[in-house]
Structure 1
Amino acid sequence: MEKYSINGVSLLKNEKAIFPMMGEFHFSRCPEPEWEEEIRKMRACGMDIIATYVLWIHHEEEEGVFDFTGQRNLHYFLELCEKWQMHVWLRIGPWAHGEARNGGFPDWLLKKGYKLRSDDPDYLALVERFWKKIYKEVEGTHCILGIQVENEYGHVGGLRGVAGEQHMRTLTKLAKTIGFEAPYWTATGWGGAVLGDLTPVMGGYCDAPWDASLKQLPPNKNYLFSTVRNDGNIGSDYAPGMELSFDKDAYPYLTAELGGGVQVTHHRRPRVAAEDIGAMSVCKLGSGCNLLGYYMYHGGTNPKGKLSSLQESTAVGSFCDVPELSYDFQAPIREYGQISETAKELKLLSMFAHDYGETFCNMQPQFAGDDCESTSVHTGDFQDAEDLSAFRMITRRSGDHGYLFVNNYQRGYEMAEHKDVMLRVQTADGEISFPKQDIKNGAYFFYPFNFLLSDDVTLRWINQTPLCNINRKLWFFYGNEKMQYEADEKLSGQVLISMDRIWAKYAWRMKKYPNILFFSALPILETENGIEVICRSDRAQKNCWIIMDATVEDAKTWIDNGWKKPDIIPDFLHVEGDASTICVLSHDLTAADNQTVASFTHTDVNNCIIRKEKNVFHRAEKTDFSEAEACAIDDTGKDYQEYVIRISYDKAYDAAKENIFLQIDFQADQAELYLNGVKIADQYYIGDVWEVSLKRFDFPTELILRLYPLEEDDKIYLETQPDYVNGRCCSLKDIRCVYEYKEKL
């Protein structure tokens, strides 16, 4: 059996440091038939742990009536995680927040009059009853690596000081008495939250959509290399960020809530880019983080309630309104399973963590900055996020081995460009100098120094970021500079392979094939029998490439299955060393691409799925799209414009292999989709095209779309402004379809 433990620096497995990647995915916010594929996607994108809430209101909305069936079936979800070798970090509450109604508490519980989130025996008796039901679901599974007790306790509600600490101990003792077991027990630590002897996990978001401000927020401190682990913006709608209640130096720096995106609120709607999350993550690595945990990593959809909707809202005392159904979160994997650019961005870090995590965990950040310097730049004050001319850098090292981190990215602001910069690191053997380079606005990276390739060969420096390695023979790097390096000995059996950042994001690593690195612009997933690629009609279909260690892998099996050996190494790779060590194969997806595009394009009237010429969508009333007058009034008195969407399909689709995404380009306050009179999807406008899976709803042929108007003077912060007509917008710009299918390789 594997032995897990913890020290003051990192998590340990069999007494060796490990650097896992963790992503939040709420099973009860995703239909049960989709779980297995979504777990496979998270695995393919480099996640090792799935964190998930068990939201009380999802399971006991009516007092004494428990529901662990369908998409609330925790036991089955854990079985699937176990099947795909994914650990689980179970967040059992009892209070969760998570943009759920009452923070996850059922309405009936609030009406009891008990002192909630305290040692009130009547409250604890109900917690015990609920937790015993959870434990019954957990029994017999073996994938739970960690358990989180409560959430933001002492910061967002709850008691502080001695009483707060005691309540956390009471809950932990109760959970263990019931029978819960896990190597790690944690509590959220930001904002002055109390721990009750548990291990703290931290967070950090690129924006604060719960904040009351209707303006662009000041430069975010999460883009600094800093000793400060607390993000004062988290939960700022409930209470301002407070000092930590514990000595951070006594615990490893672990995160559970780095924003993989953000959930938009009605009054504040940031639009997140992959670089926002990537740069923030690199800053956390440079600052000493040894567990990257993302909230959310996979978006979701709130389930339907029996008595009410289940989202957070001002109607039930929250400070924010969020969509009733959508919990997309702009996450790396979106609400309907779309793998985004953010997922590819974070995959760069997961591959690094898996191959270099053991040594990296034992490297410490050098905040004094005395061991590294740069030329021709203003170093500034690293603790001042508003200093956009400061050059932000740090080393993380153990002795003379380590990494030099640079971040010149600040979300929403332009950083100064630094020309002809020479980065220097001080070591016992003298100064290490990297080649001069221009560091542009938006750049972020980390370079290794005294990087061990073997017992005999060390890279004194290389101006590339490490990605991964195969058998410590093939060493993969990426960067936008031409690869240069200095080694203390001539390469002997080692091959250095570099590529630009775009191609690095096309790299995929499968646990089933540890001696192979796959390259594909399209996502590649493991199956029970092999691999498959997810193709979409709106994505460029390029060849898939694989690179393997030629000395240990027999390429014949791959060639027999349709892979080909090219005449030369592909030009996206720069190779240093003995190229005969590399075996490169490609798989041609061109034929599939041509078939897909020919069948699903708007210009091809005969074959397209949705035919605008045949009234794919039309206004319920004969008024122009841009007209300001309402065409209908809902039961709350809000006016809206309504459209009928009719969809014709050119064949019957296999839901196991195929999907069709309806893309709705709208400008309005919010949009809602209805099927047979029931609302099935909703979205606030943020400037993106809204994408909805038609497979999830059994490929319907008619939907109703409602758009609610947005007024120019509404008290809403929008990063992307729509086109207003006479101070209002409520328009449908376009509707189109995207076909998705899986091709086995």
Structure 2
Amino acid sequence: MSNPVFTLARAAILLLASSLCFISNADSQILVDASAPYLQPALSSFQTGAARTPGGHTLGLNQRFITRDDKPWLPVMGEFHFSRVPASEWEEELLKMKSAGVDVVSTYVIWLHHEEIEGQFDWSGDRDLRRFAQLCEKHHLKLYVRIGPWVHGEVRNGGFPDWLLSKGPTRVNDPVYLSYVTKFYDAIGQQLNGLYWKDGGPVIGIQLENEYSNRAPGGGAAHILELKRLALAAGMDVPFYSVTGWDRATIPQDAVLPVFGGYPDAPWDASPKDLPPNEVYSFRFHGRVAGNMGAMGAATATALNPASEDTPFLTAEVGGGIEDTYHRRPIISSDDVAAIFPTLLGSGVNLYGLYMFQGGGNPEGKLSTLQESQATGYPNDLPIKSYDFQAPLGEFGEERASFRKFKLVNYFLNAFGDQLAPMTPHAPDVLPKDRADVSIPRLAVRSQDDRGFLFVNNYLRGTAMPARHDFQVKIKLPGGDLLLPNRPVDVPSGAYFIWPFNMELGGVHLRYSTAQLFTRLHAPETFVFFCIPGIRCELSFADESGLAIHSTGGQVLRANGSVTITNLKTASETILSLQGSGTKPVRVLVLSENDAENAWKVRLSDKEHLLITPQQFFTSDDQITLNSDGDLRFRMTLFPAVKTAPSASSRLTVKQQANDSTELSTSLKLIQPQLTITQIRKARDVPAVKIGPPPSWRDQGVPEAPAGATFVDDAAQWRIKLGLEPLLGLSNLFLQVDYTGDIARLKYGNHLIDDNFFNGTPWRIGMKRLLDSNEAGDLQLEILPLRTDSPVFLEGAVRKTLPPTGQIDQLHSIHLVPQYQLTLRTTP
């Protein structure tokens, strides 16, 4: 890096030429009044279960936030359905989640997966809940278990075994039903015995039921309380019990915690067209329930005044993606889900729960397929196998762009969540009139006394937000007004971010930053930020006595009691060295957003570093693993620099950089797996889709997925043959299918490997689990034609590629993508 070092002497010279730039336009300012005295949170009436470990560690909560060892804690929770992923892959996927900043893993225990045949419980193999919990414990991940008994989760009967439905009423205090629930809960309790928080284990919470609003005799709050009693009787004594808080939820006060969420689209909606602007991109100043979470009835609003609320604002189902249904197939971008972070955190959320974080696939059923379908009385048709959910970690473990986007905020919450958690939200003086109003900037402040964070979202899925010119926020604080930033900036369409203000950085006072706070490293103390593309990148510090600043980039301006490092390059890193009078030196590393997305915290020889790489990443205590799809070249940068490169599975080329970093690179041997494709049958004409009956809460029916016989009769078919030892030298091998049609299926003999509802994106299937199971013979690909008059929702850009009439089944390309792997040791 060749940028000059700006000293304070040069800053004084620059000040004269720049002083006029500090004049702001008061008419363009947005006002947020956060001047009211800070109120400490009151105790909650919720009574925790056993909340102390044998070692004395505690979990608790008050009306505003969760506590860990009596200190504020703002955890990140990610959903991972263990029975939808092969057990052989659990550990690696958990390590990926942990590497991306997830603190708590949540999981459904799906009754149908464990007792499909009455009286025959199966907790073996991919259904081994105890082993999954033990892996969470091994890697210091906490576990939140969602035990139902009805879970939904896009599962057949909402997770109920077929046989249970013949026994009588369900989801009420019916003696017969409760007798079976008792057995199921007892079986779960045995699986988790000795693994609860009170035992020093990972299990910290239990969710009872799901989307429950039944107020019939034997239902309502009495039923939730009975389920909690049964869970306790089965040994499930944990700090936290919760229920979902939408769909007119039944929430017994003092006994359970309501949790909330929101999704970027609504695949349960009957519309075959684009949906109106979604409220998840708006701040929730008047309620905790998302409009698109109230699919089955009016939502129960819960006021957001933290001083008067009895429980913290907790979430469990913030969309990490969305599952395509047969009738509605949206494509979810990484921005679609990452832009929800500032709106919910700015609204006061103090547990960020992502659903799903890890995609999966339905296990084999002994008696039937296990997915939700209209044929079984449910409102939507889902793929038989795939539950990919367009999640940050896909069905086969692939890391998507959202994995990196989420990490940007997860790392921030890991490092600074204890500061954010006590802070209360404040709305600006002018709000958009509704979720579709794009004329008013969307923002919120959370603060405690004079310090806090500004949350801004200028992104709305499906709508181009206007750029915000001359953007500046005036925050009224108890200690006086703050302009953020000093000089107005332009906020591009599609930008979203979190800016800190009045924050102590190791004894140096940061007035504000238009770079987003990312994480911190220790020894030496380093605070890491990243610039927001299209916005002037600057950090402003209080010009306290003796403050010395050295910067490797930008301009250093001193005026009106502040020192501002401005015009930092947004495409390269900058290092600031700061030291106040009588304080230890502090470093600030400012990255580009792209480098921050590629930056991961690692420990090498027990010292913290950032490892910046475009490759897929995860780490354990003793090893760093990098995966590369199709590219045999591995490139990475370590900050701070290392004198000696870590040992690796391939010899590394080492290059020391002037900016206290070390570049490492290597190339692996080229591997070109062989693939032979032969078409064995062309498609036939398919009938028009049928429209199913509407459920009571939806005003119209939606297209039904074609029956299996339609595939037998009408689908185009290809034979796929892999070469010998296709996985040799690889960590995985992906079959990528680029096609246009209605539904595609990959089979091995009569065994369905995976299926896909066409939405316009390539379909990728991981071959490792198939090859590891010795199913290495010829595969069969089937593509059912899509009638262009089929009233299913496809994104507009995809719909435009279809012919105006007729049907289409095109296999555009099919090829193998080898996944190369490089490992590095974290200790000598």
Shorter-normalised TM range: 0.7 to 0.9
Instruction: State the partner residue of 1:216.
Output: 274
* Corresponding position: 1:496 with 2:588: yes
The residue aligned with 1:519 is 612
Q: CA deviation at 1:543?
A: 1.8
Q: Distance in 2 between matches of 1:704 and 1:637?
A: 16
- The yes-or-no answer on 1:452 pairing with 2:504 is yes
**Equivalents in 1 of 2:319, 2:515: separation in Å?**
26
Q: Which residue of 2 aligns with 1:306?
A: 366
Q: 2:556 — aligned with what?
A: none
Matched residue of 2:188: which SS? helix
The Cα of 1:562 is off from its aligned counterpart by 4.8
For 1:232 and 1:525, locate their aligned partners in 2 and report how far apart those are by CA, in whole Å: 36
Counterpart CA distance in 1 for 2:219 and 2:182 is: 20
Aligned partner (choices 221, 224, 227) of residue 168 of structure 1: 224
Residue 475 of structure 2 corresponds to residue 425 of structure 1: yes
Task: Give RMSD over aligned pairs.
Answer: 2.4
Match of residue 443 from structure 1: 495
Counterpart-to-counterpart distance in 1, 2:410 and 2:216: 36
Work out the CA distance in 1 between the residues paired with 2:216 and 2:594. 47
Secondary structure of 1:271's counterpart equals coil
Q: Does 1:729 align with 2:808?
A: yes
Relative distance call for 1:540 and 1:717 in structure 2 (3 A) is farther
1:546 to 638, 643, 659: 638
Pair 1:453–1:643, CA change in 2 (3 A): same
CA contact (8 A) 2:645 2:652 kept: no
Amino acid at match of 2:637: W
The 5 Å alignment of 1:41-52 reads 41-52=96-107
Matched residue of 1:543: which SS?
strand
User: Are the equivalent residues in 1 in contact too, given 2:359–2:389 (CA < 8 A)?
Assistant: yes
Q: CA deviation at 1:528?
A: 4.9
**Tell me, what secondary structure is at the counterpart of 2:734?**
strand
1:544·1:588 contact (CA, 8 Å) conserved in 2? Answer: yes
Partners of 1:24 and 1:295 within 8 A in 2? yes
Structure 2 counterparts to residues 333-732 of structure 1, below 5 A: 333-367=393-427, 369-370=428-429, 381-427=431-477, 428-434=479-485, 435-455=487-507, 457-471=508-522, 473-479=525-531, 480=533, 481-488=535-542, 489=544, 490=547, 491-492=578-579, 493-510=585-602, 515-537=608-630, 541=633, 543-548=635-640, 555-556=643-644, 558=646, 562=652, 564-569=654-659, 583-589=660-666, 591-592=667-668, 595-596=669-670, 599=671, 608-611=672-675, 616-621=676-681, 636-637=709-710, 639-649=713-723, 651=725, 653=727, 658-698=731-771, 700-719=776-795, 720-721=798-799, 722-724=801-803, 726-732=805-811
> How much has 1:691 moved relative to structure 2?
0.3
Query: Is 1:66 matched up with 2:66?
Result: no
Aligned AA for 1:298?
Q
8 Å CA contact 2:685–2:714 kept in 1: the answer is no
Distance of aligned partners of 1:299 and 1:94 in 2 relative to their CA distance in 1, 3 Å threshold: same
How do 1:120-159 and structure 2 match up within 5 A?
Answer: 120-141=174-195, 142-154=201-213, 158-159=214-215
Unaligned runs of 5+ in 2: 1-54, 196-200, 548-577, 580-584, 688-705
Q: 2:437 and 2:822 mapped to 1: Cα distance?
A: 49
Query: 423-432 or 684-693: which moved more?
Result: 423-432
Match of 1:705, SS? strand
Percent identity between matched residues is: 34
Name the count of aligned residue pairs: 688
- Closer, same or farther in 2 for the Cα pair 1:160/1:253, shift >3 Å? farther
Asked which structure has the greater RCO (Cα within 8 Å, sep 6+), the reply is 2
Does the 8 Å contact 2:248/2:298 carry over to 1? Answer: no
For residues 258 and 215 of structure 1, what CA distance do their matches in structure 2 show? 23
Shift of 1:35: 1.0
For 2:553, the equivalent position in structure 1 comes to none
**In the TM superposition, what whole-angstrom CA distance separates every residue of 1:325-358 from its partner, at most 9, and x where no partner exists?**
1000001100000011111100001100011011
DSSP-derived class of the 1:292 partner: strand
Question: Is the contact between residue 627 and residue 822 of structure 2 (CA under 8 Å) also seen in structure 1?
Answer: yes
* Cα shift at 1:476: 0.8
Query: Which of 361, 365, 377 is the matching residue for 1:317?
Result: 377
Alignment of 1:81-230 (within 5 A): 81-113=136-168, 115-141=169-195, 142-154=201-213, 158-159=214-215, 163-196=219-252, 197-227=255-285, 228-230=287-289
**1:634·1:640 contact (CA, 8 Å) conserved in 2?**
no
Unaligned runs of 5+ in 1: 371-378, 570-582, 600-607
**Displacement after TM superposition at 1:430 (Å):** 3.4
User: Could you tell me how far apart the structure 1 residues matched to 2:278 and 2:88 are?
Assistant: 39
Query: Which letter maps to 1:436?
Result: P
SS of 2:820's equivalent in the other structure is strand
Q: Which amino acid aligns with 2:234?
A: I
Aligned to 2:132: 77
Instruction: Give the alignment's TM-score, normalised by structure 2.
Output: 0.79
8 Å contact 1:192–1:245 — kept in the other structure?
Answer: no
Deviations 1:582-640 (A, max 9, x none): x4222113x23xx34xx3xxxxxxxx3235xxxx223213x5x8x8689xx98634553
Give the one of 324, 327, 333 matched to 2:387.
Answer: 327
User: In structure 1, how many angstroms separate the alpha carbons of the residues matched to 2:373 and 2:488?
Assistant: 53
Greater mean alpha carbon deviation, residues 635-644 or residues 401-410: 635-644
Kept in 2, the 8 Å contact 1:57–1:104? The answer is yes
Secondary structure of the 2:148 match is: coil
Q: In structure 2, the residue corresponding to 1:734 is in which secondary structure?
A: strand
Q: Tell me, what secondary structure is at the counterpart of 1:77? A: helix
Structure 1 range deviating more: 699-708 or 176-185: 699-708
1:269 has 2:359 as partner: no
Q: Specify the SS of the correspondent of 1:119.
A: coil
Q: Is the 8 A contact 2:718 2:782 kept in 1?
A: no
Secondary structure of 1:291's counterpart equals strand
Q: Report deviation, 1:132.
A: 0.7
CA positional deviation for 1:494: 1.5
Change in Cα spacing, 1:163 to 1:643, as seen in structure 2 (3 Å) is closer
> Are the aligned partners of 2:736 and 2:765 in contact in 1 as well (CA < 8 Å)?
yes
Deviation at 1:726, TM superposition (A): 3.6
Q: Counterparts of 1:439 and 1:395 in 2: how far apart (Å)?
A: 17
Instruction: Give the conservation status (yes or no) of the 8 Å contact 2:261–2:289.
Output: yes
Distance 1:541 1:404, change over 3 A: farther
TM-score (norm 1): 0.88
Whole-angstrom distance in 2 between the partners of 1:667 and 1:22: 36
Structure 1: distance between partners of 2:518 and 2:593: 10
Structure 2 residue identity aligned to 1:79: Q
Shift of 1:216: 1.1
Contact 2:489/2:536 (CA < 8 Å) preserved in 1?
A: no
Q: Which residue of 2 aligns with 1:232?
A: 291
Does the CA contact (< 8 Å) of 1:11 and 1:19 recur in 2?
yes
Superposed CA offset, 1:491-520 (max 9, x none) = 211222112211110011247856211111
How many angstroms apart in 1 are the aligned matches of 2:538 and 2:232? 54
Residues 628, 725 of structure 1: 8 Å contact kept? no
Name whichever of 539-548 and 661-670 sits farther off: 539-548
Which of 218, 221, 241 is the matching residue for 2:299?
241
Q: Return the offset for 1:701.
A: 4.5
**8 Å Cα contact 1:191-1:243 kept in structure 2:** no
SS at match of 1:250: coil
Q: 1:330 to 1:76 in 2, by over 3 A?
A: same
User: What is the deviation of 1:160?
Assistant: 6.6
The 2-side partners of 1:533 and 1:38 are apart by 13
Alpha-carbon separation, structure 1, partners of 2:368 and 2:717 = 26
